Amino acid sequence: MAVRRTALTTAFAALLLLSACGGGDGGSGSAGTPGVSDDLPATGAIVDAVAKDDALAASLPPEVTSAGKLKVGSNIQSPPNNFYAADGKTPVGSEVDLIKAVGKRLGVEVAHEDMAFGSLITSLQAGRVDLTMAAMNDTEARQEQISFVDYFTSGITIMVQKGNPTGIKGPDDLCGKSVAVALGTSQEAFAKEQSGKCASSGKEAVTVTATDSDTQNQNQLRTGRVAAIVNDLPTAVYVSKTAGKGEYFEAVDYAPINGGPYGIGVRKDAGQLATALQGAVQSLIDDGTYGKIMDAWGVTQGSVTKATINGK
């Protein structure tokens, strides 16, 4: 039943390039996030080359201009999107580079605030952060709460132990098995939906374990307490390549599930900020900076050519 696409093979090939990247700014290792590569791409010069656009900067809300910075809510444990460098406190990753470049284009600093994924939307709504950027899928359900500036396309994939000892080839093989997911994510929603499909077809349901820690989920998979992790494609492939020098995990060769955009989250009443962010991201796409960042992190398979607000 499994439908396979060349897009997944391309994703694997692109992310394999990460092993050849040299150490970048923010530390040459990644001890702050267990199970990731010791070599980080050298992206500092790409971000540093971004110049302020006065017209785009003028489009920011006055309160942001006055503060001189954007407070970014994130869940910093999702390589290669966002994770900690060797010092355990410096955020790095493709999303980190992109939002830093956006900040430079808009003439403001960027300050990350790390929090549980499930707290991101409520923190944004409460005004504790100006925006969110945490590999969060732009979905219709979430659009009822916040708005999104879409900047990347991804999908869900399944990560298993190296050698795939439980023989998982696709979603239907999760029936009767234990699966780990990150709490409050689209992956958790998918796993629960799949569990319902298993039960309705007369098979055993999926046992879904949701935690706030990707590291905890990886430990559960390594020790066999779960049969799989359901995660986003970039993270699953990156971790499979780098954790234990590629000896711990592998991503199941199956078409990305429920593919859709990642979005920078903003409050629904922050239309001026959303427009400024959209303009900044689009300018980085147009001048090639965006492509350089995506290429450096090996995630070009999810690149977009147009930054949109709520997919429009």
The three-state secondary structure class of 55 is: helix
Note the pLDDT tens digit of each residue in 228-251.
999 988 888 889 988 999 999 999
* 33 confidence band (pLDDT: 50, 70, 90): low
Tell which residue, 23, 5, 26, 57, has the closest CA to residue 279: 57
Rounded to whole angstroms, how far apart are CA atoms 78 and 4? 25
Delineate the domains of the chain, giving CATH numbers in brackets. Answer: 17-154+261-309 (3.40.190.10), 156-257 (3.40.190.10)
Query: How do residues 141-188 score in pLDDT, each as one tens digit?
Result: 999 999 999 999 999 999 999 999 999 999 999 999 999 999 999 899
pLDDT tens profile 105-142: 999 999 999 999 999 999 999 999 999 999 999 999 99
Distances (CA, A) of 47 to 35, 75, 140, 234: 26, 21, 32, 21
DSSP 228-280: EEEEEHHHHHHHHHHGGGGTSEEE---PPEEEEEEEEEEETT-HHHHHHHHHH
11 confidence band (pLDDT: 50, 70, 90): very low
Q: State mean pLDDT over 57-64.
A: 98
pLDDT at 14 over 50: no
pLDDT digits (tens, 9 = 90+) for 208-218: 999 999 899 99
- Helices 94-106 and 289-296: crossing angle, nearest 10°? 160
**pTM (2 d.p.):** 0.77
